[in-house]
């Protein structure tokens, strides 16, 4: 299963959208336009897009704290994502979620979480729901190498294997859990070998190759839809930026400048795929047209976010509580009842 036809151009488009969205976000952080934290996925675009392109629109996805790219990889529009970064009412979560909590049910983005490994049991539950409902939807679960040592990883993989749930566990192994390397924190640094303990396939792929990730994900999706159970995919990738924008790590550097620059020069997934596309006959003119299109879409998203209003204070309780009683949407805090209009 290989990317072909228009899907090749779409892969390039989505990778560029992630890259430029993240770069614009970092500029906004410098200008104090974004509250909270910002974790850039620059360098990891191929792992995200390759996996997401193997899915249908109605398949589910769970993400991580580094998850701006996952909705974009799944096909989300940029406007509401940019507004959400800014905490604006026009955001995908009405400005309530911010950088680490994008959600968009229209394209299957179930949740993203600042909790390490937090999406793993949710993805397992989503896959269980599909099995119970008798539908052939699958769930793709993104997590980092640091999450592999969380109990939720082991519990979820065991359950998914026992019940043959339609879920794909995809580890974006960028080599570091903040500053701790895989070699320093994993008794078995070959993460794909963990799959054998749960009776499921474990596959390692070049996470800088969108085609390689797509092929592995497509095979896993086919298995899942056929009722053959879960797969663990380890995409070896690399984050070009610091763990978090503006984070200063005291003491000795945990990775060298040479290491970072080598990846940026030789292993940039966008440059690598652009070269592949040119070799496959896509013209420079067509690629430049895609690049211009992406630049314009990010500009429009930026303007949408800047023009969106901040949420009004009296709407603070909105979306915090959902009553099963039709027409009843109030939030109860202690002995004080606040209706949805702030009264």
Query: Within this chain, do residues 210 and 273 fall inside the same structural domain, yes or no?
Result: yes
What are the DSSP calls for 180-205, one per residue? EEHHHH-SS--GGGGGGGGTS-EEEE
Query: Within this chain, do residues 35 and 175 fall inside the same structural domain, yes or no?
Result: yes
Q: Is the pLDDT of residue 38 over 50?
A: yes
Q: Is the pLDDT of residue 9 over 80?
A: yes
Query: Within this chain, do residues 300 and 325 fall inside the same structural domain, yes or no?
Result: no
Domain that holds residue 275: 6-311
Three-state DSSP at 82 gives: helix
d(CA 183, CA 207): 18
* Residue 1, in any domain of the structure: no
Query: Within this chain, do residues 339 and 296 fall inside the same structural domain, yes or no?
Result: no
Q: Is the pLDDT of residue 321 over 90?
A: no
What are the beta bridge partners of residue 338? 331
Query: Within this chain, do residues 235 and 117 fall inside the same structural domain, yes or no?
Result: yes
Give the neighbor-by-neighbor strand order of the sheet with 139-144: 109-111, 60-62, 139-144, 167-173, 231-236, 202-206
* pLDDT single digits (tens) 174-206: 999 999 999 999 999 999 999 999 999 999 999
Distance of CA 227 to the CA centre of its chain: 25
Query: Within this chain, do residues 235 and 169 fall inside the same structural domain, yes or no?
Result: yes
* Residue 307, in any domain of the structure: yes
Per-residue confidence (pLDDT) for residue 338, from 0 to 100 = 37
């Amino acid at each position: 299963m290989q990317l072909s036809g228009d899907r090749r151009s779409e892969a390039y488009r989505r990778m560029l959208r992630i890259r430029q969205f993240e770069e614009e976000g970092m500029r906004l952080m410098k200008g104090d336009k974004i509250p909270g934290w910002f974790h850039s996925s620059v360098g990891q675009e191929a792992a995200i897009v390759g996996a997401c392109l193997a899915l249908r629109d109605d398949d589910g996805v769970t993400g991580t704290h580094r998850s701006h790219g996952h909705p974009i990889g799944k096909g989300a529009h940029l406007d509401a994502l940019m507004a959400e970064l800014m905490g604006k009412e026009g955001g995908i979560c009405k400005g309530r979620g911010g950088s680490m909590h994008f959600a968009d049910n229209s394209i299957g983005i179930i949740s993203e979480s600042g909790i390490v490994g937090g999406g793993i049991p949710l993805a397992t539950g989503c896959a269980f729901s599909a099995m119970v409902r008798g539908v052939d939807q699958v769930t793709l679960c993104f997590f980092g190498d640091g999450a592999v040592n969380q109990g939720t990883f082991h519990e979820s993989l065991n359950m998914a294997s026992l019940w043959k749930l339609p879920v794909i566990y995809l580890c974006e192994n960028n080599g570091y859990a903040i500053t701790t390397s895989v070699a320093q924190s994993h008794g078995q640094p070959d993460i794909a070998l963990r799959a054998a303990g749960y009776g499921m396939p474990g596959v390692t792929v070049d996470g800088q190759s969108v085609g390689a990730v797509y092929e592995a994900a497509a095979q896993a999706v086919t298995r899942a839809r056929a009722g053959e159970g879960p797969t663990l995919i380890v995409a070896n990738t690399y984050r070009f930026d610091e763990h978090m924008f503006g984070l200063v790590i005291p003491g000795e550097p945990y990775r060298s400048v040479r290491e970072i620059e080598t990846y940026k020069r030789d292993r940039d997934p966008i440059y690598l795929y652009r070269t592949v596309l040119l070799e496959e006959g896509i013209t420079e003119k067509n690629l430049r047209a895609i690049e211009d299109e992406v630049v314009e879409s990010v500009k429009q998203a930026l303007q949408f976010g800047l023009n969106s209003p901040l949420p009004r204070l009296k709407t603070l309780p909105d979306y915090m509580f959902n009553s099963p009683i039709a027409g009843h949407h109030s939030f109860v805090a202690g002995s004080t009842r606040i209706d949805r209009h702030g009264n």
